[in-house]
Structure 1
Amino acid sequence: MTVLDSRALGRATLARQLLLERAEVPALDAVAHLGGLQAQEPQEPFVGLWSRLRSFEPAQLSALVTDRRVVRTHLMRRTVHLVTADDAVAWRARHDAMLRQRVLGVYRGELDGVDLDELAAAGRAVLADGVPRSMPELARAVAGRWPTPAPRALGEMLVAALIPMAQLPPRGLWRTRAGVRNVPLAAWLGREIDPPAPAGTDPVGAALVRRYLAAFGPAATADVRMWSGLAGLPAAVAAVRAELVTFRDERGRELLDLPDAPRPDPDTPAPVRFLPAFDNAILGYDDRTRIVDDAHRGVSVAGERVVLVDGRVAATWTVEAGTVVATPLRRFSRADRAAVADEGRALATFLSDGESHRARVAAAPR
């Protein structure tokens, strides 16, 4: 069986993630291809798409949000993702059990004795008036029935697990600060979410495996599970295995892939790319060594924005008074510093709507 080293896997990741070459596709198609964008920080998806698409304009994504073609909702890993309306409707029921269990993992003691079906019914009754509510507002509205749990526990369970919700604009619009207001996903989109599959079948799980490999492969089943947060995927993998090709990584793990998906030459040049906080190009794997060294793995979960140099995490970045500042995690060659500065200036122009073109590369660690 062919062994793919970390460089080969890294180049495949860049190609699938639209980071090896900016794509000429509509923003909606990019969101669909990527299986959504991690979006708990509302402005980060704009940077994610800017780094992946040619001629991307922020108004394109804002329009998709206001037109209800993409939606902010709790989904993979119980984190807020920006996904297409079609995917939200198709995928949400498959995530129900995982979402409940993850909230219970935090609040099990406080929610002990609370009938979750009753809680969901109470929440839906409150929301039936069509008024968008924040999580604290919804929690207070049902707290009289369950006075013992902290409102936070009731609110998290309702908003992140029991009731499929959409976070409404203006939250998630370009250069807009707004609190979270929730309405049921079905009410916002004007259609019900797809029902759970019959027992013993998992068509959504099989579709998720295919979609994941298209955007992240080649990958192990543990990687699919890390991205989605879902249990029970071995049956879905088994259902599609005949469609797939297999490899091994340097650790000996079996890697699955779609037969016709791109697997570029490991020596393919990789341009500098600035990634937003919590980008799934990093978080979407159990084994992240294809893109980030173990020594720097922590930056991917700490909310640091990172810079890819030669396809690997090589710096973090911030914006200081309109200047994009890249802070290397290792020593850069002169050419690397110049390339990071060039891309940083382009990012500064994007973030400031053309008002700033300033970028600086800080000193490398000694």
Structure 2
Amino acid sequence: MTHEEISHRRLVSQKLYKTNTVSPQDIVYHMGAMQAQDYAMAKWAVGSRCTVAEKEIEEAINSGKIIRTHILRPTWHLVSAEDIYWMLDLSGPQVKRLFASTAKQHGYDDKKLDQINSVIQKLLTGNNHLTRDEIMQELNIQKSAGDLSPVIVMMNAELEGLVCSGKMKGKQITYALLEERVSKPKTKLTKEEALAKLALRYFESHGPATAADFSHWSGFSPTICKAAINAIKLQLNNIVIDNQEYWFGKDHTDLVNFCESVHFLPAFDEYLISYKNRESSILLDHQSKAFTKNGIFKPTILENGKVIGTWKRTIKKDHVTIETEFFDAVNLDAKESLFKEIKSFENYLGMKIVIT
């Protein structure tokens, strides 16, 4: 298997190879968790993998079928309601450990955070969905430069399984009680069962990928990740390339008749961000043009599994403008062929797109 074949297989496993007539929550469930700190781009990450419009993805989030919360690594993710509890039980403690020292530096120990959670629970009980600013106002926590109190308080409440994303209030994101959004399951997975489930979901939806890639995506140590892979290796295929062992799901029949494809992927898309080593998808010389060393990922243009440029959208009153920047020179005919693929984004937004 070559690096080109790896990128082709990743298109298949990430549901980017063909148009999928499935629901937004089905896409999120398949992917396990999708990074989502840029909310608008996170919705397009789902939309680029199925045929639904943005408003349908918004509805899936508003209805609680998809949850946006902090999970796995300490950043925002989209996760299906079906997975939220076991995934939170698994990754919540490790994320809390990562920001515990920051919380203490700002004067928040476990006792104080528990007291605040009790107040938040009373505020939100009865499907009362509030924005973070509204919650901070009720808690009498003033916004000030450099003060991470709002982040610490709400992330802790998420990781404790108290709150999650609520219904949008205009253009503002709200919080709601998790148990009022999603019923608690009657049984719990052991840590080993949950790790095995997470590993299987990752390699089936992101493979071919290495143990280091899984560690990068999940936030768990290489040792823990290798143990999880060992528990499920009979359910996966594997291959060694350049002394690296890659794991992937057994159902890759779409690859037999692989055809050319172009995608305009969102910022922070799983296609790049979920791997530690990205050279199968983007040349080393181009990586600094697509993402920064401190983790800022731009929207990218993908041709046959390879990143060939970046793009930027600007929403106007009655249309959306798209600016593109290609890494290498592209002739006019090739550009026009590439730009035909922006039609899916136009259908998703329900707005005319003008390429500048």
Alignment TM-score, normalising by the size of structure 2? 0.84
Residue 234 (structure 2) pairs with residue 242 (structure 1): yes
- Let me know the Cα RMSD of the aligned residues: 2.9
Deviations 1:319-346 (A, max 9, x none): 2442222211222244531222212354
Identity %: 19
Find the aligned partners of 2:46 and 2:235 in 1 and give their Cα distance.
30
Residue 291 (structure 2) pairs with residue 294 (structure 1): no
Find the aligned partners of 2:355 and 2:343 in 1 and give their Cα distance.
5
Which residue is 1:69 aligned to? 65
Which residue is 1:363 aligned to? none
Which residue is 2:220 aligned to? 230
Residue 307 of structure 1, CA deviation: 0.8
Which residue is 2:262 aligned to? 272
Find the aligned partners of 1:346 and 1:89 in 2 and give their Cα distance.
33
Deviates more, 1:14-23 or 1:315-324: 315-324
Closer, same or farther in 2 for the Cα pair 1:50/1:132, shift >3 Å? closer
Find the aligned partners of 1:57 and 1:9 in 2 and give their Cα distance.
30
Residue type of the alignment partner of 1:309: E
Find the aligned partners of 1:142 and 1:202 in 2 and give their Cα distance.
41
Which residue is 1:364 aligned to? none
Which residue is 2:354 aligned to? 358
Find the aligned partners of 1:246 and 1:310 in 2 and give their Cα distance.
22
- For structure 2, list consecutive stretches of 5 or more residues without a partner in the other structure: none
Which residue is 2:53 aligned to? 57
Residue 239 of structure 1, CA deviation: 1.3
Residue 331 (structure 2) pairs with residue 336 (structure 1): no
Which residue is 2:324 aligned to? 326
Residue 105 (structure 2) pairs with residue 110 (structure 1): yes
Deviates more, 1:254-263 or 1:276-285: 254-263
1:88-99 aligned at under 5 Å gives the runs 88-99=84-95
Deviations 1:60-81 (A, max 9, x none): 2122122221111111322211
Find the aligned partners of 2:161 and 2:113 in 1 and give their Cα distance.
7
Which residue is 2:176 aligned to? 183
Deviations 1:68-95 (A, max 9, x none): 2111111132221121101112211101
8 Å CA contact retained: 1:123, 1:158:
no
8 Å CA contact retained: 1:278, 1:303:
yes
1:36-185 aligned at under 5 Å gives the runs 36-54=33-51, 56-104=52-100, 107=102, 110=105, 114-116=108-110, 118-129=111-122, 130=125, 131-135=128-132, 137-138=135-136, 141=139, 151-152=149-150, 154-155=152-153, 157-159=155-157, 161-170=159-168, 177-178=171-172, 180-185=173-178
Find the aligned partners of 1:335 and 1:5 in 2 and give their Cα distance.
29
Alignment TM-score, normalising by the size of structure 1? 0.81
Number of residue pairs matched by the alignment:
337
Closer, same or farther in 2 for the Cα pair 1:234/1:278, shift >3 Å? same
Find the aligned partners of 1:358 and 1:193 in 2 and give their Cα distance.
51
Does the residue aligned with 1:248 lie in a helix, a strand or coil? strand
Q: Return structure 1 stretches of 4+ with deviation > 4 angstroms.
A: 131-136, 192-196
